[in-house]
Amino acid sequence: MLAPAGGPTAVFASTPLVGLGVLHALKRLDRQDIAVVVFGDFPHAELMTPPTSVVDQRPSALAHAAFDHLERRLEDPHSPVVETVLPTRLIPRGSGELSPRKAAS
């Protein structure tokens, strides 16, 4: 999938563990022309080459929201499903800003 010809120009990894797997595969293939963004910050992301861009979230806020939903459902199993949107922030560090065409030239 990451072969040079016709492969992806960017990867969005859904978790830090998946992101590390992607970064490892790209390093093994000596690919530096694929943009990478990971959902969830992880230790040493800024030390990767290039430093890994992430969409960061607060796990504690997610845990609190999940508990609130669980508590509401336990009190009233027929309570309506509520959608909760939690804030995230992009931490651009370089890997998501790569231009495959410029990097390949």
Distance CA 16, CA 52 (A): 10
| Domain map (residue ranges) of the chain | 10-57+88-104
Q: What percent of the chain has pLDDT over 70?
A: 90
Question: Is 90 exceeded by the pLDDT of residue 99?
Answer: no
Q: The domain 10-57+88-104 belongs to what CATH superfamily?
A: Response regulator (3.40.50.2300)
Mean pLDDT, rounded, for 18-46: 91
- Hey, what are 76's tokens? 């009233």
Question: Is 70 exceeded by the pLDDT of residue 25?
Answer: yes
Report pLDDT digits (tens) over 60-94.
999 999 999 999 999 999 999 889 999 999 999 98
Per-residue confidence (pLDDT) for residue 49, from 0 to 100: 80
In the chain, at which residue ranges do the beta strands (DSSP E only) sit?
Answer: 10-13, 35-39, 53-56, 89-91
- Hey, what are 43's tokens? 């230790």
Per-residue confidence (pLDDT) for residue 103, from 0 to 100: 44
